[in-house]
Amino acid sequence: PYAFVELSDSSGAFEVMFFSQQLFAHRDLLEPNRAIVVTVEARLENDAPKLVAQSAQSVDDVVALAGTG
């Protein structure tokens, strides 16, 4: 299975594809209004960007890790 997840930031909304491995690993983060950081592989297909999730973390986890490094 896979899912197209609509995310947004200050620049607007965009769609990220989560394949099964990433979807199951990060399902708990994919909730409305949850602040997350997603690492993606970006490709250009038919002159449109295609974003495929590689990993995801909560913003709180990213901030905590940045504070220790």
pLDDT in tens, 19-61: 999 999 999 999 999 999 999 999 999 998 999 999 999 999 9
Residue 69, pLDDT > 70, answer no
pLDDT number for residue 67: 83
Q: What is the pTM of this model?
A: 0.84
How far is residue 20's CA from residue 40's CA, in Å, rounded to a whole number?
15
Would you say residue 4 has pLDDT above 70? yes
pLDDT at 1 over 80: yes
Count of other CB atoms within 10 angstroms of residue 5: 20
Query: What whole-number distance in Å separates Cα of residue 14 and Cα of residue 49?
Result: 10
